Amino acid sequence: MNYLSKSVGWMSSVLSSPLPATSVKIFDVAEQVDAEKIGERIERDEHYFSLWVNQLYLDKGNLAWAEYDPTVLFVTDYMYAGERVTVPYVIGPAMIKNTPGPIPHGFLINDIKVAGPVPFKGGNIGITVILYAMKRTDFARELLKIVQGLSSAVGAPADIATLLKVGVSLIDGIEAAVGLGETRSIVGHRREINTSSRMGLRSFFSALSNDASFNDRSLQIKSGRLLLNEDGRAMPYSGSDFVLYSLVGSETRGDDQLLGLEKLRKSAMRDAAGKSDDEWQRAKSTMATLYQELVSSDDLTLAEANQLADTYIAKLKDAHRRSKIKMLSTGVQVRAADKALEKFKVITKM
Protein backbone atom coordinates (compact mmCIF):
# COMPACT_ATOMS: atom_id res chain seq x y z
CA MET A 1 0.00 0.00 0.00
CA ASN A 2 1.39 3.44 -0.88
CA TYR A 3 1.51 6.31 1.60
CA LEU A 4 -1.34 8.38 0.17
CA SER A 5 -3.76 5.46 0.36
CA LYS A 6 -2.52 4.48 3.81
CA SER A 7 -2.86 8.04 5.16
CA VAL A 8 -6.47 8.34 3.96
CA GLY A 9 -7.48 5.17 5.80
CA TRP A 10 -5.51 6.14 8.89
CA MET A 11 -7.04 9.62 9.13
CA SER A 12 -10.52 8.13 8.75
CA SER A 13 -9.74 5.87 11.69
CA VAL A 14 -8.37 8.78 13.78
CA LEU A 15 -11.39 10.98 13.06
CA SER A 16 -13.87 8.20 13.79
CA SER A 17 -12.34 7.56 17.22
CA PRO A 18 -13.91 9.52 20.08
CA LEU A 19 -11.81 12.43 21.29
CA PRO A 20 -11.74 13.45 24.95
CA ALA A 21 -13.81 16.35 26.21
CA THR A 22 -11.67 19.34 25.28
CA SER A 23 -12.06 23.07 25.71
CA VAL A 24 -10.80 24.80 22.56
CA LYS A 25 -10.15 28.51 22.40
CA ILE A 26 -9.29 30.32 19.16
CA PHE A 27 -7.82 33.74 19.84
CA ASP A 28 -8.75 36.81 17.84
CA VAL A 29 -7.09 40.20 17.53
CA ALA A 30 -8.84 41.58 20.63
CA GLU A 31 -7.15 38.95 22.80
CA GLN A 32 -3.57 39.83 21.91
CA VAL A 33 -1.39 41.98 24.11
CA ASP A 34 1.31 43.00 21.67
CA ALA A 35 1.84 42.84 17.93
CA GLU A 36 1.07 39.16 17.49
CA LYS A 37 0.36 37.95 13.98
CA ILE A 38 -3.30 37.20 14.59
CA GLY A 39 -5.87 37.74 11.88
CA GLU A 40 -3.41 38.53 9.08
CA ARG A 41 -4.69 37.33 5.73
CA ILE A 42 -2.67 34.67 3.92
CA GLU A 43 -3.11 35.05 0.17
CA ARG A 44 -3.28 32.16 -2.25
CA ASP A 45 -0.20 31.73 -4.48
CA GLU A 46 1.49 34.67 -2.71
CA HIS A 47 2.10 33.50 0.84
CA TYR A 48 3.24 30.47 2.81
CA PHE A 49 1.68 29.07 5.96
CA SER A 50 3.43 27.32 8.85
CA LEU A 51 2.14 25.62 11.99
CA TRP A 52 3.87 25.71 15.36
CA VAL A 53 3.30 24.08 18.71
CA ASN A 54 4.10 27.10 20.86
CA GLN A 55 3.60 25.55 24.29
CA LEU A 56 2.96 22.21 25.96
CA TYR A 57 2.15 22.52 29.65
CA LEU A 58 1.47 19.79 32.20
CA ASP A 59 -0.52 20.75 35.27
CA LYS A 60 1.36 20.27 38.53
CA GLY A 61 -1.84 19.00 40.09
CA ASN A 62 -2.27 16.15 37.62
CA LEU A 63 -0.58 13.27 39.43
CA ALA A 64 -1.09 10.92 36.45
CA TRP A 65 1.97 12.43 34.74
CA ALA A 66 4.16 10.76 37.37
CA GLU A 67 3.69 7.45 35.52
CA TYR A 68 2.88 8.61 31.99
CA ASP A 69 4.82 10.35 29.22
CA PRO A 70 3.20 13.15 27.19
CA THR A 71 3.14 12.74 23.41
CA VAL A 72 1.63 15.23 20.97
CA LEU A 73 0.35 14.02 17.61
CA PHE A 74 -0.05 16.91 15.17
CA VAL A 75 -1.48 16.11 11.73
CA THR A 76 -1.88 18.64 8.92
CA ASP A 77 -3.54 17.97 5.58
CA TYR A 78 -3.48 20.41 2.68
CA MET A 79 -3.14 20.75 -1.09
CA TYR A 80 0.31 20.04 -2.50
CA ALA A 81 1.24 19.47 -6.15
CA GLY A 82 -2.42 19.07 -7.06
CA GLU A 83 -3.10 16.41 -4.41
CA ARG A 84 -4.24 16.46 -0.81
CA VAL A 85 -1.43 15.24 1.42
CA THR A 86 -1.48 14.29 5.10
CA VAL A 87 1.62 15.12 7.12
CA PRO A 88 1.94 13.75 10.69
CA TYR A 89 4.42 15.09 13.23
CA VAL A 90 5.12 13.53 16.62
CA ILE A 91 6.49 15.32 19.68
CA GLY A 92 7.38 12.72 22.29
CA PRO A 93 9.53 12.17 25.38
CA ALA A 94 12.83 12.10 23.47
CA MET A 95 12.18 15.61 22.21
CA ILE A 96 11.04 16.83 25.62
CA LYS A 97 13.56 15.19 27.95
CA ASN A 98 16.52 12.90 27.31
CA THR A 99 17.10 11.60 30.84
CA PRO A 100 15.44 8.59 32.51
CA GLY A 101 12.62 8.94 34.98
CA PRO A 102 9.54 11.11 35.17
CA ILE A 103 9.13 14.15 32.99
CA PRO A 104 8.75 17.27 35.14
CA HIS A 105 5.54 19.27 35.26
CA GLY A 106 5.27 22.78 33.91
CA PHE A 107 6.34 24.11 30.52
CA LEU A 108 7.92 21.30 28.53
CA ILE A 109 8.29 22.67 25.02
CA ASN A 110 8.28 26.08 23.41
CA ASP A 111 7.98 26.80 19.71
CA ILE A 112 8.41 23.63 17.68
CA LYS A 113 7.55 23.90 13.99
CA VAL A 114 5.33 20.99 12.96
CA ALA A 115 4.44 21.98 9.38
CA GLY A 116 5.61 24.43 6.74
CA PRO A 117 6.43 26.73 5.24
CA VAL A 118 3.89 25.44 2.70
CA PRO A 119 2.89 27.50 -0.36
CA PHE A 120 -0.80 28.23 0.10
CA LYS A 121 -2.55 26.79 -2.96
CA GLY A 122 -6.14 27.06 -1.79
CA GLY A 123 -8.35 24.20 -0.67
CA ASN A 124 -9.29 23.30 2.87
CA ILE A 125 -6.60 22.91 5.51
CA GLY A 126 -7.18 20.26 8.15
CA ILE A 127 -5.52 20.35 11.57
CA THR A 128 -5.70 17.49 14.07
CA VAL A 129 -4.04 17.83 17.49
CA ILE A 130 -4.09 15.15 20.19
CA LEU A 131 -2.17 15.07 23.48
CA TYR A 132 -1.66 11.47 24.63
CA ALA A 133 -0.52 10.09 27.97
CA MET A 134 1.51 6.94 27.36
CA LYS A 135 2.36 4.57 30.19
CA ARG A 136 6.09 4.91 30.89
CA THR A 137 7.71 1.63 29.87
CA ASP A 138 10.99 0.85 28.12
CA PHE A 139 9.12 -0.59 25.13
CA ALA A 140 6.89 2.48 24.78
CA ARG A 141 9.86 4.86 24.92
CA GLU A 142 11.86 2.86 22.36
CA LEU A 143 8.84 2.72 20.06
CA LEU A 144 8.33 6.48 20.39
CA LYS A 145 12.01 7.07 19.62
CA ILE A 146 11.58 5.22 16.33
CA VAL A 147 8.40 7.16 15.52
CA GLN A 148 10.05 10.49 16.36
CA GLY A 149 13.06 9.53 14.23
CA LEU A 150 10.84 8.88 11.23
CA SER A 151 8.89 12.07 11.91
CA SER A 152 12.12 14.09 12.07
CA ALA A 153 13.34 12.48 8.84
CA VAL A 154 10.25 13.79 7.07
CA GLY A 155 10.97 17.18 8.62
CA ALA A 156 9.16 20.47 8.85
CA PRO A 157 8.81 21.64 6.15
CA ALA A 158 7.84 18.16 5.06
CA ASP A 159 10.06 16.54 2.47
CA ILE A 160 7.25 14.98 0.46
CA ALA A 161 9.63 12.61 -1.36
CA THR A 162 10.88 11.31 2.00
CA LEU A 163 7.33 11.17 3.34
CA LEU A 164 6.25 8.96 0.43
CA LYS A 165 9.14 6.58 1.23
CA VAL A 166 8.84 6.31 5.02
CA GLY A 167 5.26 7.49 5.57
CA VAL A 168 3.72 4.01 5.78
CA SER A 169 6.25 2.99 8.44
CA LEU A 170 5.62 6.25 10.29
CA ILE A 171 1.87 5.66 10.40
CA ASP A 172 2.38 2.04 11.45
CA GLY A 173 4.58 3.25 14.30
CA ILE A 174 2.05 5.87 15.41
CA GLU A 175 -0.75 3.30 15.35
CA ALA A 176 1.35 0.88 17.41
CA ALA A 177 2.22 3.57 19.99
CA VAL A 178 -1.33 4.85 20.32
CA GLY A 179 -2.61 1.28 20.48
CA LEU A 180 -0.54 0.38 23.55
CA GLY A 181 -2.79 -0.87 26.31
CA GLU A 182 -2.55 2.03 28.74
CA THR A 183 -2.32 4.92 26.30
CA ARG A 184 -5.07 7.50 26.71
CA SER A 185 -5.86 10.80 25.07
CA ILE A 186 -5.94 13.88 27.33
CA VAL A 187 -7.08 16.60 24.93
CA GLY A 188 -7.72 16.64 21.21
CA HIS A 189 -9.58 18.33 18.42
CA ARG A 190 -9.93 18.50 14.66
CA ARG A 191 -10.34 21.76 12.79
CA GLU A 192 -11.13 22.05 9.09
CA ILE A 193 -10.45 25.53 7.70
CA ASN A 194 -12.57 26.50 4.70
CA THR A 195 -10.19 28.84 2.93
CA SER A 196 -12.71 29.70 0.20
CA SER A 197 -14.96 31.52 2.67
CA ARG A 198 -15.13 35.30 2.84
CA MET A 199 -12.59 35.25 5.68
CA GLY A 200 -10.15 33.19 3.64
CA LEU A 201 -7.10 31.87 5.46
CA ARG A 202 -5.88 34.00 8.36
CA SER A 203 -3.25 33.55 11.04
CA PHE A 204 -4.42 32.48 14.47
CA PHE A 205 -3.51 31.00 17.85
CA SER A 206 -5.52 28.19 19.40
CA ALA A 207 -5.30 26.50 22.80
CA LEU A 208 -6.60 23.08 23.91
CA SER A 209 -7.22 22.31 27.56
CA ASN A 210 -8.90 19.68 29.72
CA ASP A 211 -10.26 22.44 31.98
CA ALA A 212 -14.05 22.70 31.53
CA SER A 213 -13.98 26.38 32.51
CA PHE A 214 -11.05 27.19 30.21
CA ASN A 215 -13.09 29.35 27.83
CA ASP A 216 -14.55 31.35 30.71
CA ARG A 217 -11.14 32.57 31.81
CA SER A 218 -9.63 35.91 30.75
CA LEU A 219 -6.86 34.54 28.55
CA GLN A 220 -4.49 36.43 26.28
CA ILE A 221 -1.56 35.81 23.96
CA LYS A 222 1.70 37.69 24.34
CA SER A 223 4.89 36.82 22.45
CA GLY A 224 3.45 33.41 21.63
CA ARG A 225 2.66 32.56 25.24
CA LEU A 226 -0.64 31.93 27.01
CA LEU A 227 -1.41 34.40 29.79
CA LEU A 228 -4.18 34.68 32.37
CA ASN A 229 -5.33 38.23 33.09
CA GLU A 230 -6.48 38.65 36.70
CA ASP A 231 -7.09 41.99 38.34
CA GLY A 232 -5.30 43.77 35.53
CA ARG A 233 -2.18 41.60 35.81
CA ALA A 234 -1.22 39.16 33.06
CA MET A 235 0.58 36.05 34.35
CA PRO A 236 1.54 32.77 32.62
CA TYR A 237 -1.47 30.45 32.65
CA SER A 238 -0.90 27.28 34.69
CA GLY A 239 -4.36 26.12 35.64
CA SER A 240 -4.54 22.92 33.58
CA ASP A 241 -2.82 20.76 30.99
CA PHE A 242 -2.81 22.60 27.68
CA VAL A 243 -1.38 22.74 24.17
CA LEU A 244 -1.02 26.11 22.45
CA TYR A 245 -0.46 26.12 18.70
CA SER A 246 -0.53 28.68 15.91
CA LEU A 247 -0.84 29.08 12.16
CA VAL A 248 1.19 31.95 10.71
CA GLY A 249 1.87 33.30 7.25
CA SER A 250 4.98 34.60 5.50
CA GLU A 251 5.98 35.98 2.11
CA THR A 252 9.27 34.08 1.92
CA ARG A 253 10.50 30.66 2.96
CA GLY A 254 13.90 31.72 4.24
CA ASP A 255 15.40 28.33 3.38
CA ASP A 256 15.77 28.33 -0.42
CA GLN A 257 19.15 26.60 -0.01
CA LEU A 258 17.23 23.46 1.03
CA LEU A 259 15.24 23.18 -2.20
CA GLY A 260 17.79 21.02 -4.00
CA LEU A 261 18.80 23.74 -6.47
CA GLU A 262 22.13 24.74 -4.93
CA LYS A 263 24.16 22.62 -7.37
CA LEU A 264 22.69 24.48 -10.35
CA ARG A 265 23.12 27.88 -8.70
CA LYS A 266 26.76 27.25 -7.78
CA SER A 267 27.53 25.89 -11.24
CA ALA A 268 26.15 29.06 -12.83
CA MET A 269 28.14 31.26 -10.42
CA ARG A 270 31.35 29.34 -11.07
CA ASP A 271 31.02 29.77 -14.84
CA ALA A 272 30.00 33.43 -14.49
CA ALA A 273 33.27 34.08 -12.66
CA GLY A 274 35.25 32.36 -15.42
CA LYS A 275 37.52 34.06 -17.93
CA SER A 276 36.15 32.87 -21.26
CA ASP A 277 33.07 33.82 -23.25
CA ASP A 278 32.15 30.14 -23.42
CA GLU A 279 31.95 30.00 -19.63
CA TRP A 280 29.69 33.06 -19.56
CA GLN A 281 27.39 31.52 -22.17
CA ARG A 282 27.28 28.32 -20.13
CA ALA A 283 26.45 30.32 -16.98
CA LYS A 284 23.50 31.96 -18.73
CA SER A 285 22.27 28.60 -20.01
CA THR A 286 22.47 27.10 -16.50
CA MET A 287 20.62 30.12 -15.10
CA ALA A 288 17.83 29.58 -17.64
CA THR A 289 17.49 25.98 -16.42
CA LEU A 290 17.54 27.16 -12.80
CA TYR A 291 14.75 29.63 -13.52
CA GLN A 292 12.61 26.86 -14.99
CA GLU A 293 13.14 24.82 -11.83
CA LEU A 294 12.25 27.78 -9.62
CA VAL A 295 8.96 28.72 -11.32
CA SER A 296 7.83 25.08 -11.56
CA SER A 297 8.69 24.15 -7.96
CA ASP A 298 5.80 22.98 -5.79
CA ASP A 299 7.67 24.33 -2.77
CA LEU A 300 7.78 27.98 -3.91
CA THR A 301 5.19 30.63 -4.58
CA LEU A 302 5.53 32.19 -8.01
CA ALA A 303 6.22 35.55 -6.37
CA GLU A 304 9.21 34.24 -4.43
CA ALA A 305 10.44 32.16 -7.38
CA ASN A 306 10.74 35.37 -9.41
CA GLN A 307 12.34 37.23 -6.48
CA LEU A 308 14.95 34.50 -6.09
CA ALA A 309 15.60 34.48 -9.84
CA ASP A 310 16.17 38.26 -9.80
CA THR A 311 18.60 37.87 -6.88
CA TYR A 312 20.50 35.02 -8.54
CA ILE A 313 20.74 36.88 -11.88
CA ALA A 314 22.05 40.02 -10.17
CA LYS A 315 24.74 37.99 -8.41
CA LEU A 316 25.56 36.21 -11.67
CA LYS A 317 26.08 39.52 -13.50
CA ASP A 318 28.16 40.88 -10.64
CA ALA A 319 30.44 37.81 -10.68
CA HIS A 320 30.86 38.18 -14.47
CA ARG A 321 31.62 41.92 -14.15
CA ARG A 322 34.19 41.32 -11.43
CA SER A 323 35.90 38.60 -13.44
CA LYS A 324 36.31 41.03 -16.34
CA ILE A 325 37.76 43.72 -14.04
CA LYS A 326 40.19 41.17 -12.63
CA MET A 327 41.25 40.12 -16.11
CA LEU A 328 41.84 43.75 -17.11
CA SER A 329 43.85 44.52 -13.99
CA THR A 330 45.92 41.38 -14.53
CA GLY A 331 46.60 42.50 -18.10
CA VAL A 332 47.71 45.95 -16.93
CA GLN A 333 50.03 44.37 -14.39
CA VAL A 334 51.57 42.11 -17.05
CA ARG A 335 52.13 44.99 -19.44
CA ALA A 336 53.71 47.08 -16.68
CA ALA A 337 56.01 44.19 -15.82
CA ASP A 338 57.01 43.82 -19.47
CA LYS A 339 57.85 47.52 -19.70
CA ALA A 340 59.92 47.34 -16.53
CA LEU A 341 61.83 44.34 -17.90
CA GLU A 342 62.60 46.11 -21.20
CA LYS A 343 63.81 49.15 -19.28
CA PHE A 344 66.06 46.92 -17.14
CA LYS A 345 67.55 45.36 -20.27
CA VAL A 346 68.30 48.80 -21.74
CA ILE A 347 69.97 49.97 -18.53
CA THR A 348 72.15 46.87 -18.26
CA LYS A 349 73.41 47.38 -21.80
CA MET A 350 74.56 50.93 -21.05
Structure confidence at residue 344 as a pLDDT band (50, 70, 90): very low
pLDDT tens across 292-341, in order?
Answer: 999 999 999 999 999 999 999 999 999 998 887 755 555 445 455 455 54
Tens of pLDDT, residue by residue over 106-139, are 556 788 999 989 999 999 999 999 998 888 787 7
Question: Is the domain of 142 the same as that of 279?
Answer: no
Pair 60, 99 in one domain: yes
Q: Check whether residue 221 and residue 237 sit in a common domain.
A: yes
Q: Which of 208, 230, 250 is the last residue of a domain?
A: 250
Q: CB of 323 within 8 A of CB of 274?
A: yes
343 and 236: one domain?
Answer: no
Angle (CA) 244 248 254, round 5°: 125
Confidence of residue 350 (pLDDT cuts 50, 70, 90): very low
Residues 77 and 151 in one domain: yes
**Per-residue pLDDT at 31:** 60
**Cβ-contact 70, 287 below 8 angstroms:** no
* Ramachandran bin of 231, using left for φ above 0, alpha for ψ from -120 to 50, beta for the remaining angles: left
Same-domain pairing of 157 and 296:
no
Same domain for 151 and 135? yes
End-of-domain residue from the set 207, 231, 250: 250
Q: What is the pLDDT of residue 293?
A: 95
Q: How confident is the model at residue 212 (pLDDT cuts 50, 70, 90)?
A: confident
Predicted TM-score (pTM) of this structure: 0.82
| Last-in-domain residue among 220, 235, 250 | 250
- Check whether 29 has a pLDDT greater than 70: no
CA distances from 272 to 241, 292, 293, 324 (A): 57, 19, 19, 10
Q: How many domains is the chain built from?
A: 2
Pairing of strands 68-80, 83-91: antiparallel
pLDDT at 12: 82
| pLDDT score of 334 | 44
Give the pLDDT score at 133: 87
What pLDDT shows up at residue 332?
46
pLDDT digits (tens, 9 = 90+) for 267-286: 999 999 998 889 999 999 99
The pLDDT of residue 341 is 47
Shared domain for 269 and 204, answered yes or no, is no
- Predicted local confidence at residue 161, as pLDDT: 80
Query: In this structure, are 276 and 244 located in the same domain?
Result: no
Residues 110 and 205 in one domain: yes
Q: Are residues 37 and 17 in the same domain?
A: yes
Assess whether 220 and 88 both reside in one domain: yes
Domain span at residue 340? 256-349
| Pair 219, 207: CB distance under 8 Å | yes
